[in-house]
Amino acid sequence: MNNESRMSQKHLEIFYANSLFSIPNSKIMKKIYLPNINTTKTLAGQMAKKLKGGEVLALSGPLGSGKTTFVQFLAKALGVKQAVRSPSFIVLQVFKINSKRITHNAKLLCHVDCYRLKDTKELNTLGLHDYLGKPNVITVIEWAEKIKKIFPPKTIWLKFKYAKHGRMALIRASNRHGIDFF
């Protein structure tokens, strides 16, 4: 492990933040400081190792807060060979997962960007329901707050925010599904 990676690992500070928000006991929340791009890469890599297939990652946050960068690092950690770009104009892209050592059942990564979405009906015509929550698919949705009513209960929410020194990710997931990334 090089010095830069060690520093990223060191700065990936995790805090349980249940008291920060009013959330039910069945939810866990973690607040993660991302002072540099390497910590975002570390977070994505750690999550990739835990994903088994069927998960929905719902990303929210302002423009430039790190959503697409996180997806790019996640895809790379999952063994996706193609370049992952923000699908703002395409809305939905599907990639083959090439790493058997990381995922259990997942064969596809479905990347959705709802930034320009006006209506959830648009996603139905694109076939999102063919991927959402399926056991062989990991679905990652940017600007997820626009379509939050269609997500399964197992959805993992990542809210990216600007912080004093870099960025921050607030991760909320149901602990009854055994989700523990750290």
Tens digits of per-residue pLDDT, 107-133? Answer: 999 999 988 887 777 777 788 889 998
Residue range 42-50: average pLDDT?
Answer: 92
Selection from 23-37, 119-133, 145-159 with the highest mean pLDDT: 145-159
> Which superfamily, per CATH, for 32-177?
P-loop containing nucleotide triphosphate hydrolases (3.40.50.300)
Give the number of residues written for the chain.
Answer: 182
Is the pLDDT reported for residue 26 higher than 80?
A: no
Where does the chain show beta strands of DSSP type E? 14-16, 27-34, 56-60, 92-96, 108-113, 137-142, 156-163, 166-174
Taking only the tens place, the pLDDT of each residue in 52-68 is 899 999 999 999 999 99
What is the band of 169 on the pLDDT scale with cuts at 50, 70, 90? very high
Is the pLDDT reported for residue 42 higher than 90?
A: yes
The pLDDT assigned to 65 comes to 93
Is the pLDDT reported for residue 94 higher than 60?
A: yes
Is the pLDDT reported for residue 38 higher than 90?
A: yes
The pLDDT assigned to 5 comes to 46
For the whole model, what pTM was predicted?
0.81
Is the pLDDT reported for residue 9 higher than 50?
A: no
Residue range 86-112: average pLDDT?
Answer: 81
Tell me, rounded to whole angstroms, the distance of Cα 29 from its chain centroid: 14
- Higher-pLDDT residue of 5 and 162 is 162
The pLDDT assigned to 24 comes to 40
What is the band of 135 on the pLDDT scale with cuts at 50, 70, 90? very high
Tell me, rounded to whole angstroms, the distance of Cα 50 from its chain centroid: 12
Question: Crossing angle, helix 3-11 and helix 37-50, to 10 degrees?
Answer: 80
